[in-house]
């Protein structure tokens, strides 16, 4: 293990340890599955191969500031951001295919994409914008031990600046709902991804403490959430759970502790909130969305023609698939319900299922 001695106080930038992207043991298992002809692994990996192959002939398109949160579909800033964010899955695919194939063309291109974003992008401290960085952070985690020193330093600096403004920015003020609602779930996920990708021990402690507090403040003992209560929408219950689940997987890999089943002092847990969601995914229950939402932006989106936000529209159970697949990392008994819904989605590639298997 190599540690950069020049790391700032409270941080150790640890190389060769991956808790965010796929690490060496998982990559070795993936190679074995591919060699043995595992159907699910081959199908999912083929998609990444295709994307990475195309990305070799493309140039990165970083944007100076990610702007999506709070903007209606069709807003020019949102359109420009969505176009730039097409780089994210390309980075992940390039890094993954490099790790599997060893072909340095993919490494060089992944590094070029990451470096371009590190140079061009200025973090704004908005977790709903920053949550889009998942693939970039995972890609960095998978290739960080192969980067040139200056490339690595630039990317680490960008990620650290992203984390710092998330913590210190006004959107994280205790006086604002965004310090406790789904925004904070996404903030903690991003902070956790960065903390373990760059090995920042102070940031790791902040993330763990924050997760336990968020479970107690954001989720409810009956399994519902404050976001479901304020938005009257399973859309936002799911949007809360997915970042908490992603963070919990990182923490299980990094610390061995199970925060999925962690129960807060008031009796709240991620597990309870997934269980509460389950009958809505199976179809046993239905829910008309946004009928009693207290947030004006929900009504604005409906008026903008975004049908899924129209009050009374039934929640689509297929939108719970990703939540169940993430939760199945901890509880494989959820897989039948997830597979049942996946069968209704044409050409669904369940990479998370493959990842869960590789990480176990």
Q: Which of 83, 91, 92, 145 is nearest to 113 (CA)?
A: 91
Which pair of tokens denotes residue 97?
């295919």
Tokens found for residue 319: 């939108």
pLDDT at 2: 35
Burial 53-68 (b: 16+ CB within 10 A, else e): eebeeeebbbbeebbb
- Give 233-287 pLDDT, tens digit per residue: 999 999 999 999 999 999 999 999 999 999 999 999 999 999 999 999 999 999 9
Helix or strand holding residue 238 (H, E): helix 234-255
Architecture of domain 17-184 in CATH? Answer: Alpha/alpha barrel (1.50)
Does the global pTM surpass 0.75? yes
pLDDT of residue 347: 66
At 256, list the tokens: 């061995």
Whether 19 contacts 255, CB under 8 Å: no
97 band by pLDDT with thresholds 50, 70 and 90: very high
**Structure confidence at residue 350 (pLDDT):** 87
pLDDT, tens only, 134-182? 999 999 999 999 999 999 999 999 999 999 999 999 999 999 999 999 9
What share of the chain in percent tops pLDDT 90?
93
pLDDT in tens, 100-121: 999 999 999 999 999 999 999 9
Q: Tell me if 251 sits within 8 A of 298, measured CB to CB.
A: no
Exposed / middle / buried, residue 222 (Cβ in 10 Å: 0-12, 13-18, 19+): exposed
Would you state the pLDDT for residue 16?
60
Terminal-to-terminal C-alpha distance of the chain: 23
Only one residue has tokens 């290739």, namely 143
**pLDDT recorded at residue 5:** 32
- Domain positions in the chain are 17-184, 219-360
pLDDT at 221: 98
Residue 301 has pLDDT above 90, yes or no: yes
Average pLDDT over residues 308-323: 96
Contact at 8 Å (CB) between 117 and 157?
no
Mind giving me the DSSP string for 15-26?
A: -S--SSS--HHH
Whether 15 has a pLDDT exceeding 80, the answer reads no
Q: What is the pLDDT of residues 185-206, one digit of tens each?
A: 999 999 999 999 999 999 999 9
CA–CA gap between residue 317 and residue 321 (Å, rounded): 8
Task: Check if the beta carbon of residue 301 is closer than 8 Å to that of residue 72.
Answer: yes
> Residue 189: phi, psi to the nearest 5?
-60, -50
pLDDT-based confidence at residue 9 (cuts at 50, 70, 90): very low
**pLDDT reported for residue 8:** 40
Radius of gyration over alpha carbons of the chain, in Å?
Answer: 20
Q: What pLDDT is attached to residue 354?
A: 96
Mean pLDDT of the chain: 94
Burial label for 142, CB within 10 Å (0-12, 13-18, 19+), is buried
């Amino acid at each position: 293990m190599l540690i950069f001695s020049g790391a700032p106080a409270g941080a150790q930038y640890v190389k060769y340890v991956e808790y965010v992207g796929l690490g060496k043991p998982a990559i070795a298992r993936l190679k074995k599955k591919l060699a043995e002809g595992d159907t699910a692994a081959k199908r999912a990996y083929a998609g990444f191969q295709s994307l990475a192959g195309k990305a070799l002939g493309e140039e990165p398109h970083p944007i100076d500031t990610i702007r999506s949160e709070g903007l209606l579909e069709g807003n020019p800033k949102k359109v420009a951001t969505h176009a730039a964010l097409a780089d994210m899955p390309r980075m992940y695919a390039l890094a993954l295919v490099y790790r599997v194939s060893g072909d340095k063309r993919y490494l060089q291109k992944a590094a070029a994409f990451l470096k371009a974003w590190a140079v061009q992008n200025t973090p704004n401290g908005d977790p709903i914008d920053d949550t889009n960085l998942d693939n970039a952070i995972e890609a960095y985690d998978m290739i960080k031990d192969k980067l040139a020193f200056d490339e690595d330093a630039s990317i680490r600096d960008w990620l650290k600046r992203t984390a710092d403004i998330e913590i210190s920015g006004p959107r994280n003020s205790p006086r604002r709902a965004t310090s406790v609602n789904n925004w904070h779930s996404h903030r903690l996920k991003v902070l956790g991804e960065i903390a373990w990708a760059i090995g920042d021990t102070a940031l790791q402690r902040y993330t763990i403490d924050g997760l336990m507090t968020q479970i107690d403040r954001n989720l409810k003992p009956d399994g519902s959430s404050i976001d479901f209560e304020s938005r009257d929408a399973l859309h936002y219950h799911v949007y809360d759970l997915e970042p908490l689940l992603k963070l919990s997987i990182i923490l299980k890999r990094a610390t061995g502790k199970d925060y999925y089943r962690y129960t807060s002092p008031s009796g709240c847990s991620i597990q309870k909130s997934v269980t509460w969601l389950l009958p809505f995914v199976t179809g046993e229950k239905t829910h008309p969305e946004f009928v009693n939402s207290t947030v004006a932006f929900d009504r604005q989106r409906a008026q903008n023609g975004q049908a899924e936000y129209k009050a009374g529209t039934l929640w689509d159970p297929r939108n719970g698939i990703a939540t169940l697949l993430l939760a199945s990392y901890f509880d494989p008994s959820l897989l039948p319900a997830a597979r049942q819904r996946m069968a209704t989605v044409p050409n669904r590639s369940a990479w998370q299922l493959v990842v869960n298997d590789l990480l176990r």
